[in-house]
Amino acid sequence: MQKGTKYALLMAAIPFVTLVFALPLVNRIQPLVLGLPFILFWILSWVIMTPLILFIAYTLEKKFNAPEEGDEE
Amino acid sequence: MNSALIIIFATIVFSSLLGIYAGRKLKMNLENWTVGGRRFGIIIIWLLMAGEIYTTFTFLGASGWAYSKGAPTFYILIYGALAYTLSFFILPALWKVGKRYGLHTQPDFFIKRYDSRPLGVVVALIGVFSIIPYLQLQLAGLGLIVEEASNRAISSHVAIVISFILTCAFVYTSGIRGAAWVAVIKDIMMVLAVAIVGIGVPYIYFGGFGKMFRALMEQRPHHLVLPGATAHMDVLWVMSTVLLTGLGFYMWPHVFGSAFSAKSAKIIKRNAIIMPFYQIPILLVFMVGFTALLVIPGLENGDMAFLALVNKTYPTWFMGFVGAAGAVTAMVPSAILVLFASILLAKNVYQTGFNPQASEERVMRLSRLMVLVITTFALVFAIFLPQELVFLLIFGYDGVSQFFPGVVLGLFWKRVTKAGVFSGIIAGIGIVVLLILGGRDPFLGLNAGFVGLIVNSVITISVSLITKPSVGGFKFSTKE
């Protein structure tokens, strides 16, 4: 596996950890954040963070992986 | 004639004409009809995929669950983000294989990778069986929305017949390109409707989100944490369900197939990055469901919460706008479902299974004929037997998810074999059917499809390790 792919997979693990495996820890209403129950706030924040996380994964892949044929526009 | 009626009717007709117009200059061969000549750029791919994913069911179901079940509805917000994250790795690899071998459909991939026509036919049949009830659900949603929004001026049957025939007309003429163009109208209207209502109703009745939530917590303190108002949709159920639906998401034959229509692997990768933004409107849909629970409690059918609250709050013409948005929101996914069910039957059941020598023109003609056949059957079912297929729906997601090991291992692991994938899929489907029919879903708190997928993966891997690898003429990378 190329180094960039490895880093990208590590980034991709973040939404799975926060949005699946952390759920038992965040299943509560208090504290309210921005008027939202805590569980909804938590889920929403990580969903909104996902594009940023994937963008970083994209950048890492580009930086550390050898360019592959068929990757051009 | 009321204003709602005019708005709904005009939108349906205009969208269909646009869909027909979309294909006017193209010579319709299989490549153009199914995968848009592999020429779609990032905007159109984004709208097309959003068009497939955000269906009437998202509209009515997400608010309905917020209303009747509470916190378990949050799973809808989660699984998309997981699916897009996975698609960042899977779809570009899949696109390259599709381009190299000229693949159009999901069974095409299985046939090429595992060098097995029977496997292709089985995958095609499971795909069609999962698509048909999903299509029924879209039609039922469409009928419901239009009937409610027009204040019963248009009956649900009339709405279904008119809009579905028009939908099938643009599928027939323009294929996936028609669906992609109509998706533009659909997305603009749906996002507008959801934004206006989702921000509007909590503000109108309570003065904002925060106050609405506080009122809800006072009245029903357990509604907003798992398992909400349900008995068994607890944390474990949500965890297994989001994993199953997140993994299964791109295994739907129509979503899988649309990935081939991108212009390049890079486009499809960038698309994965921006897809999660499309989850934000779902939050607003939840707000509508929660507000409805406070303002109009006691509805018999929670799925009506969205429409009932709009009806109570806004003028007739706006109800018409919501109805029109709901109608196109059903038409776009219906179009793509019909398209892929047709091509699966023509290409992967008829050609692969019975007549490998059939020419491409013949398969194309047969696909179009299948559009007419499926349209007719779907309408007959929607009107005369609306309840008969509903039970199949629960199998849909659980069924297509069983393709996951075959696709992902097939793309990235040379050792996985035809025998492994075949036995894995059969075992996975078998477990799902047994659990659901035996009334054991959820099983030990886990989603039945998820249990099937675990068994499936274990069997796929172990059988692959004891059978001889065969990849036929399949190459994993351009470098080999």
Question: What's the rounded Cα separation, in Å, for the pair B117 and B114?
Answer: 9
Question: What's the rounded Cα separation, in Å, for the pair B377 and B199?
Answer: 40
Among A32, A43, A46, which would you mutate to test the B interface (most chain B Cβ atoms within 10 Å of its Cβ)? A43
Question: What's the rounded Cα separation, in Å, for the pair B361 and B373?
Answer: 18
Show pLDDT as tens, one digit a residue, over chain B (480 residues). Answer: 578 888 888 888 888 888 888 888 777 787 778 777 788 888 888 888 887 888 887 778 889 889 988 888 899 899 989 999 999 999 999 999 988 888 888 999 999 888 888 999 999 999 998 888 888 888 888 888 888 888 787 888 888 888 888 888 888 888 888 888 898 899 889 989 999 999 999 999 988 888 898 888 888 888 888 887 777 788 888 898 888 888 988 999 988 888 888 888 888 899 899 988 888 889 999 999 999 999 988 888 888 899 899 988 998 889 889 989 988 998 898 989 999 999 888 888 888 888 888 888 888 888 889 899 988 888 888 888 766 655 566 678 888 999 999 999 988 888 888 889 999 999 999 998 898 888 777 777 778 888 999 999 999 999 989 888 766 667 776 544
What's the start-to-end Cα distance of chain B, in Å? 66
Residue A20 has its nearest CB partner, among B77, B211, B243, at B243
Which residue type is seen at B321? F
Is residue B75 within 8 Å of B241, Cβ to Cβ? yes
Q: List chain B residues with CB under 8 Å of A53.
A: 85
The residues near B34 (Cβ < 8 Å, ≥ 6 apart) are B104, B105, B175, B176, B257, B260, B339, B343, B367
Q: What b/e readout covers B431-461, taking b as 16+ CB neighbours within 10 angstroms? A: bbeebbeeeebbbeebbbbbbbbbbbbebbb
Is residue B111 within 8 Å of B119, Cβ to Cβ? yes
DSSP one-letter string for B440-466? --SBTTB-HHHHHHHHHHHHHHHHHHH
Token pair of B444 as six digits: 């030990």
Is residue B138 within 8 Å of B335, Cβ to Cβ? no
Residue A20 has its nearest CB partner, among B99, B239, B264, at B239
Give one word for B472, left, alpha or beta, with left for phi > 0 and alpha for psi -120 to 50: left
For A37, name the nearest residue in chain B, comparing CA atoms only. B224
On the question of a cis peptide bond just before residue B469, with omega within 30 degrees of 0, the verdict is no
CA angle A15, A16, A19 (to 5 degrees): 70
For A40, name the nearest residue in chain B, comparing CA atoms only. B74
Q: What are phi and psi of B477, to 5 degrees?
A: -145, 160
What's the start-to-end Cα distance of chain A, in Å? 24
Put simply, the answer to whether A58 touches B224 (Cβ < 8 Å) is no
Is residue B92 within 8 Å of B269, Cβ to Cβ? yes
Put simply, the answer to whether B88 touches A51 (Cβ < 8 Å) is no
Residue A2 has pLDDT above 90, yes or no: no
Alpha carbon of B365: minimum distance to chain A alpha carbons (Å): 32
Alpha carbon of A73: minimum distance to chain B alpha carbons (Å): 6
Angle (deg, nearest 10), helices B404-412 and B106-114: 50
Is residue B32 within 8 Å of B177, Cβ to Cβ? yes
Which residue type is seen at B329? T
ipTM higher than 0.95? no
Put simply, the answer to whether A54 touches B276 (Cβ < 8 Å) is yes
Model confidence, pTM: 0.88
The residues near B306 (Cβ < 8 Å, ≥ 6 apart) are B59, B60, B63, B64, B197, B285, B288, B289, B292
Indicate the SS3 state at residue B40. Answer: strand
Among B78, B260, B291, which would you mutate to test the A interface (most chain A Cβ atoms within 10 Å of its Cβ)? B78
Q: List chain A residues with CB under 8 Å of B209.
A: 35-36
Put simply, the answer to whether A54 touches B477 (Cβ < 8 Å) is no
Is residue B160 within 8 Å of B380, Cβ to Cβ? no
- Which residues lie across from B40 on neighbouring strands? B262
Put simply, the answer to whether A39 touches B238 (Cβ < 8 Å) is no
Put simply, the answer to whether A73 touches B221 (Cβ < 8 Å) is no
**Residue A43: which of B73, B201, B288 has the closest Cα?**
B73
Report the 10 Å Cβ neighbour count for B354. 9
**Residue B121: which of B282, B451, B354 has the closest Cα?**
B354
CA angle B24, B128, B262 (to 5 degrees): 45
A40 interface with B at CB cutoff 8 Å: yes
A30 interface with B at CB cutoff 8 Å: no
pLDDT-based confidence at A18, cuts 50/70/90?
very high
Q: List chain B residues with CB under 8 Å of A70.
A: 96, 99, 264-265, 478
For B95, name the nearest residue in chain A, comparing CA atoms only. A70
Is residue B453 within 8 Å of B402, Cβ to Cβ? yes
**Residue B70: which of B233, B203, B306 has the closest Cα?**
B233
Residue linked to tokens 């036929």: B472
Question: What is the biggest distance separating any 2 CA atoms in chain B, rounded to whole angstroms?
Answer: 70
